[in-house]
Amino acid sequence: MTTIDLTQITQKLLHDSPGDDGISLDTSQGLDDATFNKWAKRFGLDPEGSNYIVRPNQFHDFDDASFDPDADGDVPIGYMTMPPPSKRAITETEGNDDEFGTECILRYSLKEHIFSYPHFPSPIPRPEKPAYEIRESPGKGVGMYALRALSAGELIIAERPMLLGPPAVNVQLVWRRGFTHEDKSKVSLLEWEKLLETVFKRMPPENQKAYMELANSHTHDGSGPLLGRFRTNGLGIDTLVDPFRTSHAIHSGICKDISRVNHSCGPNAGRAFDIATFCFELRAARPISAGEEITIHYCSVMDKCSLRQDQLKPYGFRCTCPSCTNHVVSDKRRASLHSLAPLFMQWMQDRSLPGDYVIKECLRLIAVIKEEGLETHPLYREYLELISKCYDALGDVGQSVSFLRQLKLFDKVNKSPLYASYALKQLGEQLIALSRARVPPESEKKKKKKSKKKAAKPADAAPEPLEETVD
């Protein structure tokens, strides 16, 4: 279908008077046939074969040394290789070959943010021994399997994505009245495919081949072959946020191997994107046996089974994990998981409650977490943190440190803004403050007894030293 640059027609619609042409300045509802046909003819379009006029987005090559980011009034959007070859050479001198960079579609402000990120670019971490293989997975096509036993927190693979970009691009249209929402969506998908073609051609042949070998479950919704694979295999990157944009659209990355990891509602691995290395890291969320399939989650695992299955429909499969197979029991268990922060605050304020009041409930829910295989969920982190705080407040440093280690392991697997506020240093400061605020009931009783003895002594008696609380 023929298109023209909308810049010209926009200027005319804004500055030309309707006059004899009968041009309507309001294009929000589309142009009537007579008006659209006049503009189509004016710009050399066949009125019978055109229903819309599209304004292509201005995408820039950020790798071009002559590019001027200040030439455009808005924050420019473009494509580039990340990290650039000049910066990748730094890591290669350390004996860690970065192979190919990532072909990216991003705003210039985000590019600058990445370049200013501490220690960017850092070498790609590697497991000491190969940890996985890609092979056929019954009923799932292919999947990732453990070559050896893996411990919780262990690195399975750190992989730089082949391609990275936003979930969609804005397309500005002038259309014939009656042009449906579905029609406009198809045009947007077509323009997105065109941009992906530009970036795809920049990829090395090896990556082009690997990209096209990935599954495509979007073959009947208007997506082209590149966009279909992007939507099917994209891994969300919630750590990559443009600090100068109010909308926080989550970018996605496409990997050769990690994008082949299959879904489970009780995944045994967690993935996270590290900006410094510009890699996805896949780590074991719990011990994984040799030969066991490695899985991550594609949907909201706390939803009921029926809702999860609806979320998975675009991927073209029905989940048959243990939680979905036994969904009646599993749904009840997952529904029982909730935040214990209010309970913790109640315990802190009410000294009459037993010392293990919160600990018992945390341990009970942690057992549910492990039964359901939800070791990557934020609630698991909350329970670990609260138990550690409780033990520290009770003076049991050994148990507090034990759960802090588990919390640190969780953070190692799940690098995300959701957990950034729980830095261990800050948590340690909170624990010290709380341990002074909540004294074990036994210590309080001793204090009361000493207070009574002190009150019974003569006024000139020497004061007894105060009992210290354990930090």
Residues 448-456: contacts with CB within 8 Å, 24+ apart? none
Question: Which residues span the domain enclosing 408?
Answer: 341-437
pTM: 0.79
Phi, psi (deg, nearest 5) at residue 235: -105, 120
Q: Is the pLDDT of residue 65 over 80?
A: no
Residues 63 and 47 in one domain: no
| One domain for residues 316 and 349 | no
pLDDT digits (tens, 9 = 90+) for 190-208: 888 988 999 999 999 999 9
Is there a single domain that holds both residue 63 and residue 51?
A: no
Report the domain count for the chain. 3
**128 and 240 housed in the same domain:** yes
For 367-419, what is each residue's pLDDT tens digit?
999 999 999 999 999 999 999 999 999 999 999 999 999 999 999 999 854 44
| CATH number of the domain that residue 284 is part of | 2.170.270.10
Confidence band of 69 (pLDDT split at 50, 70, 90): confident
Contacts of 164 (CB under 8 A, 6+ apart): 82, 102, 103, 104, 105, 106, 237, 251, 252, 253, 254
In DSSP notation, 108-133 reads HHHHHHHHTSTTPSPPPP--SS--EE
pLDDT at residue 11 greater than cutoff 90: no
Are residues 202 and 252 both part of a single domain?
yes
User: Maximum distance among all alpha carbons in the chain?
Assistant: 109
Tens of pLDDT along 81-137? 999 887 765 554 444 445 689 999 998 889 999 999 999 999 999 999 999 999 999
Whole-number pLDDT of residue 137: 92
Q: Mean pLDDT across the stretch 289-310?
A: 97
Q: How big is the chain by its Cα radius of gyration, in Å?
A: 29
Residues 299 and 349 in one domain: no
Please indicate, yes or no, whether residues 349 and 287 belong to a single structural domain of this protein: no
Last residue of a domain, one of 55, 73, 95: 55
Considering only 91-100, 152-161, 273-282, which range has the smallest mean pLDDT?
91-100
Please indicate, yes or no, if residue 89 is contained in any of the structural domains: yes
Residue 112 falls within a domain, yes or no? Answer: yes
CB 145 within 8 A of CB 292: yes
Query: Mean of the pLDDT values across residues 442-449?
Result: 52
Round to the nearest angstrom and report the end-to-end CA distance of the chain: 73
User: Pick from 19, 37, 55: which residue ends a domain?
Assistant: 55
pLDDT at 454 exceeding the cut of 80: no
Residue 470 lies in a domain: no
Q: Please give the share of the chain, as a percent, with pLDDT higher than 70.
A: 72
Together in a domain, 279 and 395: no
Query: Given pLDDT bands bounded at 50, 70 and 90, which one contains residue 315?
Result: very high
Q: pLDDT band at 467, cuts 50/70/90?
A: very low
Tokens representing residue 349 in the block: 């304020």
3-state secondary structure of 103: strand
Q: Are residues 7 and 142 in the same domain?
A: no
- Peptide bond before residue 83 is cis, with ω within 30 degrees of 0: yes
pLDDT of residue 64: 77
Of 276, 294, 326, the residue that ends a domain is 326
Residues 215 and 309 in one domain: yes
Q: What is the mean pLDDT of residues 260-280?
A: 97
Domain co-membership, 283 together with 410: no
Residues 289, 230 share a domain: yes
Confidence of residue 49 (pLDDT cuts 50, 70, 90): low
Helix, strand, or coil (residue 316): coil
Evaluate whether residue 335 is within a structural domain.
Answer: no
- 130 belongs to a structural domain: yes
Tens digit of each residue's pLDDT (9 = 90 or more) over 214-241: 999 998 888 999 999 999 999 999 888 8
Residue 447 maps to a domain: no
- Tell me, yes or no, whether 98 lies in a domain: yes
Task: Indicate whether 292 belongs to any domain.
Answer: yes
